Amino acid sequence: MHSGTRIQRNSHRRQLVLFGLLGVGLLLIGLISGAAMAAKGWLPFNSGTKVVTFPAADQRPNAQVTLNPGFSAVAKAVTPAVVTVEISARARPQPFPFSGDPFMDPFRDFFRRGLPPDEGGEQMPRRRAPQARPAPEGRGRLQPSGLGSGVLVSADGYILTNNHVVDGAEKVEVILTDRRHFTAKIVGADPPSDVAVLKIDASGLPTLPLGDSNQVEVGDLVLAVGNPLGVGQTVTMGIISAKGRSTRSGSGSFEDFLQTDAAINRGNSGGALVNMRSELIGIPSQILSQSGGNIGIGFAIPTALARNVMDQLIRGDKVHRGKLGVIISQLTPEMAAQFGYKDTRGALVQDVEPGQPADRAGVKPGDIITEFQGQRIDDDSQLRNLVAQTAPGTTVKFKVWRDGSEQELTATLAELDPKAVGRGSGGGGSPGAAGSALAGVRVENLTPEIARGLNLPLTSRGVVITEADPDSGAADAGLRRGDVIEEINRQPVSNVSEFNAALQKAEKKSVLLRVRRPDGTRYILVRPPE
């Protein structure tokens, strides 16, 4: 019994040894054959394939660049031309911006160094915008108050940035990437477009060429460069997420933003958005955020708009804008249906200013402007920008849809009054008529999204105030941005059209408003200007 077991075990050992020797032999034969075939070029994977030989680490300083170049070449070309902008101003009481803004959190609300974003709670209405003038003696000390970015666009020291970065500044300091400091002069600023130009006394400076933002496509790769949160120059990467965006939060809403998901935060304002050819295509200006931080929705002023403003400011001119003389609004599907218009592209004419180019050309309220200078109009913001960027005195052709047919009209543009721009007459939404009790007030239709942002019931109805001139009678009466107007003279209003009709009926008399806020409703009487 035991003898048979030992014989069986010995037999298994011999088999394992034989199999092992056979495997080693086959492996040696395969290696020798493979080497011979590779030497003769017979292996299929060797055909057309470059053999990469890695030298020793100390002999390949460029190995990382060769294998993974990334965006380093673009970053190296761009970053020297992006500067940090620090402003100083007299210590003075800060106005309280509207809290919990459901429309947009522009960088201007967040770029102040050391100040957190405004948090919840009812705030006092903003009474007057800060003025860029020296404070009287003894009225405050000059102290650092703001931080942003800028872009060198000429070797002799012209810098492109945002108006809100330098707004109210009494001293502006520019810091280059090589740590040189310069005191900058504000050459000019244009609040409606949020563009400003600075100048430093230097020469031979690195610059960024201005690219053609009109050629940018959704999906293009971009880099954002600036000094976010004061941590130092930072480069982030993303794509163009959308074009032609309007946030309707600027002073005059001349907006045609490039939207990007490149990470931008406080301090990126006025910096650079560049393409992969190291060209400047946009100036970061705003972010959409409920917290003040980046959530991947940022907006940049395209260079096509910024260049036009910058050139005029450098020449020492005021910014000239064309004027057609119409009050327009976005065309909603419901509004289009009321007019029998089977499209939502175009700009609805709410009113026509008497004696202005549109009036002389034959434009009527209720017309839908569908084309301007051969370019199809998608919405009111696009039309507003196209008209504004056309020089006053230019004869233009445009098409309007009226009573079921389209017709072409011709007009010679007038010049838009800069004071009217500052009051937001070129902005989005519908303004109160000049001379009426609500002059200086602009409203938009109240949507469920806006109602949610205002902490109001989603079933709320009315129009929401998006802008109120701090010098207007409406502001004196207590109206402020974010108020929802539900009634005018006891007449319910649920959209902009009803708001306009009620105002027209009230003419230039006092109006009794029922206004809703998160803490309830109230009646406010607003008198017309004297």
- Annotated active-site positions, please? 164, 194, 269
Q: Which of 491, 482, 530, 497 is nearest to 514 (CA)?
A: 491
Query: Per the structure block, which two tokens stand in for 172?
Result: 């502006």
| Collapsed DSSP state (helix, strand, coil) of residue 76 | helix
Contact between 270 and 286 under an 8 Å Cβ cutoff? The reply is no
DSSP 99: S
CB 142 within 8 A of CB 90: yes
Q: Which helix (H) or strand (E) holds 27?
A: helix 2-39
Paired tokens of 8: 């069986």
User: 87 near 172, Cβ under 8 Å?
Assistant: yes
For the chain, how big is the Rg over CA atoms in Å?
32
* Helix (H), strand (E) at residue 420: helix 418-422
The SS3 of residue 115 is coil
Q: Where are the beta strands (DSSP E) in 176-233?
A: 181-190, 195-199, 221-226
Burial 470-486 (b: 16+ CB within 10 A, else e): eebbbbebebbbbbbbb
Mark out the alpha helices in 40-167 (DSSP H runs): 63-67, 72-78, 163-166
Token pair of 405 as six digits? 């047919």
Q: Are 329 and 369 a contacting pair, CB within 8 Å?
A: no
Residues belonging to the chain: 530
Identity of the residue numbered 126: R
106 is written with which tokens? 């522009």
Q: How far apart are CA 480 and CA 499, in angstroms?
A: 17
- What is the C-alpha to C-alpha distance for residues 494 and 487, in angstroms, rounded to an integer? 8
Distance CA 367, CA 31 (A): 83
Q: Which residues neighbour 381 within 8 Å (Cβ) at sequence distance 6 or greater?
A: 244, 246, 248, 253, 255, 256, 330, 428
Strand residues in 252-381 grouped as ranges (E): 257-260, 272-274, 280-287, 298-302, 322-323, 326-330, 347-352, 368-372, 375-376
Helices assigned H by DSSP within 151-230:
163-166
Query: Pairing between strand 347-352 and 368-372?
Result: antiparallel
Q: d(Cα 482, Cα 120) in Å, to the nearest integer?
A: 14
Angle at 157 between CA 152 and CA 77, to 5 degrees: 35
Place of tokens 């931008």: 264
